[in-house]
Structure 1
Amino acid sequence: MSITAILFDFDGTLADTAPDLAGAANLQRTKRNLPALAYEQLRPVASQGARGLLRVALGLATDDPAYPEARDAFLQDYAATKDQQSRLFPGVLELLAQIESAGMQWGIVTNKVAWLAEPLIASLELNAGVVVCGDTTPHAKPHPEPLLHAARMLDKAPDACIYVGDDLRDVLAGKAAGMPTVAAAWGYCGEDQPVTEWAADRIADDPQGVWAAIQSLVAER
């Protein structure tokens, strides 16, 4: 089956949202009279949202009794500043134009909840064919259901879609959904396992590299 749709993660893949996410995380430290962390400490976990940022900023695991209150405060603060510094990565618009010119559809599958993701996607003027958020289905990535839901919404078979993301869980979700995967090495990429060890079908160093990866994967069909 040929490739006819490209699905993207959002934070760290299409959009550089880490500055606003890191700012909201550091605000939680400020409220506790703690010094701000360097941006470089927070950027790698930006794709992990509150879970990763609060672990680094405050040392809170998701099972910590203090986590729910800290998460809610972080999300409210982030909501107020989410579009101050967030921008599309250079080359993203050109990549999306190439995809559309090739007659392919594209969409977004993110773990960001809809009330945060949808306004930001709109403010960046991204006209995705489908947007699946972290609360669209009962599951979040690395579960395959969000990707499978996006494929259904586009009326595509899973193996007719490629999934592009900057976190290991994106590759795991794509593989579980039966989709070829492209690791976005320009993104945040986590703290632990190198991108080269994710077993993605392709690795792209920048958005233009995704187009080369798409062409390569199409040629294999």
Structure 2
Amino acid sequence: MQKPAAILFDLDGTLADTAPDFIDVVNSLRQDDDLPPLTDDAIRQQVSNGGLALACLTWNVASDDPQAWPLRQRLLDRYEQLIGQRARLFPGFETLLPALEQQQIRWAIVTNKPRLYTDLLLPRISVHCDVVVCPEDVEHRKPAPDALLKAAHDLGLSAEQCWYVGDHIRDIEAARAAGMLSIAATFGYIEDGDDPASWQADRYIATPQALLSLLPE
């Protein structure tokens, strides 16, 4: 296994712990509608599944319900108001990212989070990254490989020179399709009943710092 020229990271549930923001969003909306609060864990497990899944959870509607997409927009409007208030990097990244840079390994972000919210979030959690690929930047979002391949291209690298780290099976599928080494972040937002071992990632890490131990000497 060769040392990567770059490591690409998923955002929500991998690089950043954004669940606290969404916990506040979901339960503030439920309070507005005189509904009881949901548990932090129930909300956390849906963060990587995006706004529609969170809206369905918030109001207990099916994804094909005619109200699902309007409710999603209501949730995203509230998220725009609260974004970055409690989100933070997962512990360990504050030392991992400088360590990668010291080894001349570049890093980038590849996310299914819309550009509007990504651009609002990153400066609020003090993340400055030269290459950030969002779903609007490509034709097909993850699990298609398009966004990962664009990130590699923007870095001036081949896919084989990059590793990809994510906390969902779609991340592993995208890395595999792109021809990148896939790394499952088991510290992320894993749903009950989901077994990361079944994703068949190339490598698994339980903490951000564990990524350093995967690097060849």
Q: TM above 0.5, one fold?
A: yes
2:166 paired with 1:160: no
* Unaligned residue ranges in structure 2 (runs of 5+): none
Counterpart for residue 58 of structure 1 = 59
C-alpha distance in 2 between matches for 1:21 and 1:136: 24
What pairs up with 1:192-207 in 2 under 5 angstroms?
Answer: 192-207=193-208
Counterpart for residue 120 of structure 2 = 119
How far does the alpha carbon of each residue in 1:11-30 deviate from its partner, in whole angstroms, 9 at most, with x for none? Answer: 11111100111221223322
Q: What SS does the aligned partner of 1:135 have?
A: helix
2:105 paired with 1:91: no
Q: What SS does the aligned partner of 2:136 have?
A: coil
The alpha-carbon deviation at position 2 of structure 1 amounts to: 5.0
The alpha-carbon deviation at position 125 of structure 1 amounts to: 2.0
How far does the alpha carbon of each residue in 1:107-165 deviate from its partner, in whole angstroms, 9 at most, with x for none? Answer: 00011101101121122222223001122212211111011111111111111100001
Counterpart for residue 71 of structure 1 = 72
C-alpha distance in 2 between matches for 1:55 and 1:72: 12
Q: Which moved more, 1:152-161 or 1:190-199?
A: 190-199
The alpha-carbon deviation at position 190 of structure 1 amounts to: 2.7
Q: In the alignment, is the contact (CA less than 8 A) between 2:160 and 2:180 conserved in 1? A: yes
C-alpha distance in 2 between matches for 1:193 and 1:38: 19
Letter in 2 for 1:10: L
Counterpart for residue 31 of structure 1 = 32
2:154 paired with 1:145: no
C-alpha distance in 1 between matches for 2:172 and 2:182: 6
Aligned pairs, number: 216
Counterpart for residue 173 of structure 1 = 174
C-alpha distance in 2 between matches for 1:46 and 1:58: 15
Letter in 2 for 1:7: L
Counterpart for residue 22 of structure 1 = 23
C-alpha distance in 1 between matches for 2:46 and 2:10: 14
Counterpart for residue 211 of structure 1 = 212
C-alpha distance in 2 between matches for 1:62 and 1:151: 33
Letter in 1 for 2:121: L
C-alpha distance in 2 between matches for 1:23 and 1:53: 12
C-alpha distance in 2 between matches for 1:119 and 1:94: 23
Identical amino acids, percent of aligned pairs: 38
Q: In the alignment, is the contact (CA less than 8 A) between 1:105 and 1:129 conserved in 2? A: no
Q: Which contiguous aligned blocks of 4+ residues in structure 1 show a shift greater than 3 angstroms?
A: none
C-alpha distance in 2 between matches for 1:75 and 1:134: 16
Q: In the alignment, is the contact (CA less than 8 A) between 2:109 and 2:133 conserved in 1? A: yes
C-alpha distance in 2 between matches for 1:210 and 1:18: 22
* Unaligned residue ranges in structure 1 (runs of 5+): none
2:111 paired with 1:110: yes
Superposed CA RMSD in Å reads 1.5
The alpha-carbon deviation at position 104 of structure 1 amounts to: 1.1
2:129 paired with 1:128: yes
Counterpart for residue 6 of structure 1 = 7
Q: What SS does the aligned partner of 2:107 have?
A: strand
1:138 to 1:62, Cα distance in 2 relative to 1, 3 A: farther
The alpha-carbon deviation at position 192 of structure 1 amounts to: 3.5
Letter in 2 for 1:22: I
Q: In the alignment, is the contact (CA less than 8 A) between 2:56 and 2:68 conserved in 1? A: no
